[in-house]
Structure 1
Amino acid sequence: MTKGWRPKAVALDIDGTLIDHDESLSPAVVDAVRRTAAQVPVILATGRSWQTTRPVAELLGLPDGGLVVCSNGARTLRYPDGEVVDERTFDPSTVIRSVRKHAPNARMAVEEHDGGYLVTAPFPDGDLGTGAGIRVVADEELAPEPVTRLIIRDPEQSEADFVQLAERLGLHGVSYFVGWTAWLDIAPEGVDKSTGLKVALAQCDLEPADLLAMGDGRNDIEMLVYAGLGISMGAAPDEVKAAADEVTKSVQDDGVAAVLNRWF
């Protein structure tokens, strides 16, 4: 990063970066994001579906016509109408069978086009956001067509258990991310948040070197490496901090605002 560098676009993860686990948005963060969005494109880059991302964009007051990257990079959409600019899908049937073999009690979900979910069993309250339609189906009905993501969840297992599960599944031809709980996100091969950000930056006629990105999860690593300046939140796992150029304060201490206030 050259002396005097200034971001021409900002990419922000949502959960654990903008919003704590209690779903609250700090006034200081909202103010900083709004000031930033008045000057450069602010792109939400999240594992959430469009349906649960849009309310956050509304709370932040993001300008109409901007872009959001959802489903860990598999979908890039225009805010607020939800126009799909780019979408990547895969056939999860092989992974579903492997999950049933190695984690028979795990719950699985796929995201539908409207932002709702098909699930094999109910997920813990709030796991899939609020307001999203959720329908319980049998394993064989989970993915009758290619999907943007497959979520695997087992509330009785630990994060470490799921790191091991990902290894046992022998995942080939897909990308995957272990979340901050016993949560595994399966995406199309080669797809991560940087995939959607490439699409979004091209729409804005900007380069990766122009981008400031902030995140806290393993699914943010590629985005942080891709950006001209990648900043990890203070409570992120060590491997996320190692991938970042800098580490800011935690979400509870308004780390996003502390960074944005440097330039905006």
Structure 2
Amino acid sequence: MKYKLLVLDVDGTLLNDAKEISKRTLAALLKVQQMGVRIVLASGRPTYGLMPLAKMLELGNYGGFILSYNGCQIINAQNGEILFERRINPEMLPYLEKKARKNGFALFTYHDDTIITDSPENEHIQNEARLNNLQIIKEEEFSTAVDFAPCKCMLVSDDEEALLGLEDHWKRRLNGALGVFRSEPYFLEVVPCGIDKANSLGALLEALDVKREEVIAVGDGVCDVTMIQLAGLGVAMGHSQDSVKACADYVTASNEEDGVAVAVEKAIIAEVRAAEIPLDQLNAQARHALMGNLGIQYTYADEDRVEATMPVDHRTRQPFGILHGGATLALAETVAGLGSMILCQPDEIVVGMQVSGNHISSAHEGDTVRAVGTVVHKGRSSHVWNVDVFTSTNKLVSSIRVVNSVMKKR
């Protein structure tokens, strides 16, 4: 498969204006993960605020990642391991607090599931807390209360001109010490020097041994430009500013028009070829599921044919030392399930409707059986697969018919 990593900005990209993942987008993202593509959520949000989205997308099941604080931290969604992290030197906090007070700006930072601020009544800070499900803690002496190294600090004001002036001043004054940029007209973000989404993403690519050409990055804002330019395929949302679109290889629909799903369907799902289906990744991801517990391994897959093997051992045999018929049916359903999943559209799911089999001969403990599934009917609402199971000497063990129901995602 050409692409291995799909990097998604969150607000204005993954989420629509109601701050939701649309059904079509969710279906498309689940499907590409099933195909072996890993997802990175790349956002200015704190890690805690991204966890519910990661759970909804099942990133933990598919080896995905959370790139939070605009790149200050990267988390393995599967086990919570911190793969990359940069923090602000706490000695800089009194200076930031002094400048905020001098200009009449509110100031806050994140800590676990809280926001620490000197201005809890500020509307933008309250909205940020609600958006990320964070508690607000008021601290009059901000730099004294923050006794840790924060990933980033935020200055807040509705005086856009004043924020812009301080941003320009700090870019000259703090060059080499801190990075500053406006993520919203009312937010001035302060991060460790050299931090942006692209630099942190580059560290992740190196750790995963993934090439830039194997990455798709999708975003809508100025903060996304560097990662869009880094990726092999950089995608701008349809509602992005012209300056963002100019940096992209492709412009998709807006976030209100399922732009992420449109891009993914075009670049990944529609382009996949049978030989590119990552069977090794599918096998690895299923090692703790039923097929993993039975030792089932996919060996070939395309739109019309799927093959898999299963050992005859203590997991799959009868007490008499021969292959259990129930394990054989599970093997057949596993094969037919993958085949139907390949055939389905991004907004569809597959569920088993009926399975029936004829057990013709036996396979003995120590052997490895091979299942060969071929599709005999491709309907809009159902697929019918014939699955033949053979011993290692090509003796037919069972012939099984599997009917799968094709349903729209709810």
- State whether TM-score is above 0.5: yes
Which of 4, 7, 13 aligns to 1:11? It is: 7
Displacement of 1:203: 3.4
Q: Contact conserved, 1:34 with 1:62, CA < 8 A, in 2?
A: no
Partner residue, 2:119: 121
Spell out the pairing of 1:76-115 with structure 2 (5 A cutoff).
76-91=74-89, 92-93=92-93, 94-101=95-102, 103-104=103-104, 106-112=105-111, 114-115=112-113
Residue 257 of structure 1 pairs with residue 227 of structure 2: no
Deviation at 1:191, TM superposition (A): 0.7
Aligned to 1:148: 151
Structure 1 distance, partners of 2:198, 2:113, is 21
**Larger Rg computed on CA atoms:** 2
- Residues 235 and 250 of structure 1 are in contact (CA less than 8 Å); yes or no, is this contact kept in structure 2? yes
Q: Secondary structure at the match of 2:246?
A: helix
- In 2, distance between residues paired with 1:47 and 1:258? 24
How far apart, CA to CA, are the structure 1 residues paired with 2:145 and 2:219? 30
- Indicate the percent of aligned positions where both proteins have the same amino acid: 26
Are the counterparts in 2 of residues 46 and 72 from structure 1 also a CA contact under 8 Å? yes
- The aligned counterpart of 1:221 is 225
Change (3 A) 1:126 1:81: farther
Residues 252 and 182 (structure 1), Cα distance of their counterparts in 2 relative to 1, 3 Å cut: same
Structure 1 spans left out of the alignment, 5+ residues: none
Separation (CA, whole Å) in 1 of partners of 2:13 and 2:222:
12
User: Displacement, 1:171?
Assistant: 4.0
What code does the residue aligned with 1:213 have? A
Equivalent residue, structure 2, for 1:51: 48
Q: Kindly state the Cα deviation for residue 40 of structure 1 after the two structures are TM-superposed.
A: 0.9
SS of equivalent residue, structure 1 residue 261 = helix
- Displacement of 1:58 in angstroms is 1.3
- Residues 1:242 and 1:95: Cα distance change in structure 2 (over 3 Å): farther
- Given residue 68 of structure 1, which amino acid in structure 2 is its aligned partner? I
Distance 1:161 1:237 in 2: 23
Letter in 2 for 1:51: Y
Count of residue pairs the alignment pairs up:
255
Q: Matched residue of 1:126: which SS?
A: helix
Partner of 1:212: 216
What residue is the counterpart of 2:291 in the other structure? none
Q: What do you get for the CA RMSD once the two structures are aligned?
A: 2.1
TM-score (structure 1 length as normaliser): 0.87
TM-score of the aligned structures, taking structure 2 as reference length? 0.58
Shift of residue 22 of structure 1? Answer: 2.2
1:30 equivalent in alignment to 2:26: yes
Letter in 1 for 2:128: D
Alignment partner of 2:132: what SS?
A: coil
| 1:178–1:218 Cα contact (<8 Å) kept | no
Provide the rounded CA distance (Å) in 2 between the counterparts of 1:180 and 1:234: 19
How many angstroms apart in 2 are the aligned matches of 1:26 and 1:54?
17
Q: Which structure is higher in strand share?
A: 2
